[in-house]
Each structure stands twice: as C-alpha cells, then as structure tokens.
Amino acid sequence: MNKWLFFLCLILFLSLSISYILENNATPAITYFPDDEKSTFTKAESNLGLFLPKGNDSYEIVWTSDSESDKEMYLRQDASLLFDNGRLRGVRSTWTQDTKQIHIEEKLLSEDSSFFQVITFHHGEIHYPEDQIKSIHQMSSDHLYVIDSPSTSLDAFKTPEDKFEEEWENLLDRTTKQQLLYHWDQLFTHFSIDSESYLSVPLTSLVKYNSSPLPSMSQEQTDKVIGQLWEGVYKNYIIPAVNTENSQLQSYVPIVLFDKDNNHLLVLYELNGKKHKLIQHYSI
C-alpha cells in the first residue's frame, strides 16, 4: 500500500512540475546576447492591408508579420505592436523552438478614418557548444491610411496617389502627431525630463536604425543598444500588454529618449493608466 501511495505521489509531483514549467515558459523573455555574425534573417517584414468591409460602419484590417532565419535556431521569437492614430490597438508575441520561420496573422475590426502603424521585433537565439549563446535581431514596420467617411467610399493607401489622398494623409498625420505630442508632454512633465538633453524617437520609428547608426555610434554599437532596448521593452511593456484584454488595453506609442552624451536611454510610456520610465545604461 505504501508503495502504491509513493508512486501516486510521484506521478502527481511530476505532473505538477511539468505543468509549472510549461506555464512559466509560455512567454519566455527576449534576451539579448552578442550578435552572431554567422547568422542572419533572410526575411523580416510586417504588413497591413484592408480586408473586405464588414458593413456600412466597419471594416477589417489584416495585420501580418513574417520572418525567416537562414538556419533553424534554438529559439525564434517575434513581437508585433499595432497602433491606431497613435493608440495601442493590439500586441502579438510568438515564440518557437528549433525553427527558422514565424508567421503572425490577425484581423481586427475597426471603424472611422485611421492611420495604422505596426512595428515588429524579430529575434533569434543560437546555442553553440560550451554554453556559448549568440543572437540576431531585426525590426520591420508598415503603415496604412484608411479613409472611412460618410461622404466618400472606403479607401486605403500607404502612399497617396492624388490630392484627395494627400489631404487625408496630412489630416491623419497631424491628428496623430498632436495626440502623441500632448501625451508625451505629460510624461516629460511627470518624470521631470529635460527633452533638450535627449534625441526623441517614437517606438514606431526605431526601424530606421536597422541600417543607420545612432549619433556618435557605430552600427555595431547601435545594434547592441537596440537589442538591449527591446529586451527591456518586451519584459516591461509587451508582456503586460499581452496579458491585458484588448477591451481594457490603454496605451500610446512609447517615446524612446537617447541621451545626447551617449550614457543611457529612457523609454517613457503609459500602460492602463500607469506611467512608466525605463532606463538602460549603455555598455558599449
């Protein structure tokens, strides 16, 4: 009897242990490791498109992200954020082991004219013998203007092709910018930040640093800073956002502040009513 009781307890313990491991690895952290010069992404892209209208007052946005590395990796992760007129609309995070491809696809119902922006961080972790770990990363982005006005037919474009679309582009850009500047100004005031001491870059604009270095830095140094930046953003912004129901998700495009003395960077954002400041000291 004691023998059977022992085996039952052992099985229960193993079941609980496996359940615990699976639960706590459901969203593994993105961790920056030294760049792997032997590996690269053969594909890294995000895309926004207009799906068929769902009625007179709504339409669907198709949001996709695709990435492929040149070889299978121990861990592949993609995290994608969608903003609507500067407001966070959705977050998707996917990870897979022993693969080189990741595909994310979502359809979101929306209404009214909007300026949509998406930015995705593609990450790969490579394990070598003797516990040597390296990584690769790349960003991709896309945008889409949607015109949903009672006086015109539904229209969507990425680059305006006529004066009508140019006017809508200017209107949506201006509306989004004004909303974000007001929001960021509140964060600067709350944390007593002197904006003149920093280079301010919206999170949605970071993609330009894939191939353009930060001021007074090499591209290699920039890649390290950006990789470590996303490590912090993933842990402190993306994971909490993923764990929030879309109906309760409240946030705007975070603002990244690069110290002009090249000592550190800050990330300011508000998530679900709470203001946050992340700080990352450079080790370049």
> Could you list the pLDDT tens digit for every one of the 284 residues in the chain?
455 554 554 445 444 443 333 333 355 789 999 999 999 999 999 999 998 766 667 899 999 999 999 999 999 999 999 999 999 999 999 999 999 999 999 999 998 999 999 999 999 999 999 889 999 999 999 999 999 988 888 899 999 999 999 999 999 999 999 999 999 999 999 999 999 999 999 999 999 999 999 999 999 999 999 999 999 999 999 999 998 887 788 999 999 999 999 999 999 999 999 999 999 999 87
Cα–Cα nearest to 93, from 221, 248, 273, 241: 241
Distance, in Å, from the CA atom of 194 to the CA atom of 15, rounded to the nearest integer, reads: 53
Task: State in words which class domain 28-159 has.
Answer: mainly beta
DSSP bridge partners of 82: 90, 118
Domain ranges in the chain?
28-159, 170-281
> What count of Cα atoms within 13 Å lies in the side-chain half-sphere of residue 272?
13
- As a three-state string, the secondary structure of 64-125 is EEEEEEEEEEEEEEEEEEEEECCEEEEEEEEEEEEEEEEEEEEEEEECCCEEEEEEEEEEEE
Beta strand 274-281 with 155-157 is: unpaired
Order of all β-strands in the sheet with 264-271: 198-202, 255-259, 264-271, 274-281
The answer to whether 158 touches 145, Cβ cutoff 8 Å, is yes
Tell me the CA distances in angstroms from 226 to 94, 132, 219, one per residue in order. 20, 21, 10
SS3 category, 34: coil
Q: How many residues belong to the chain?
A: 284
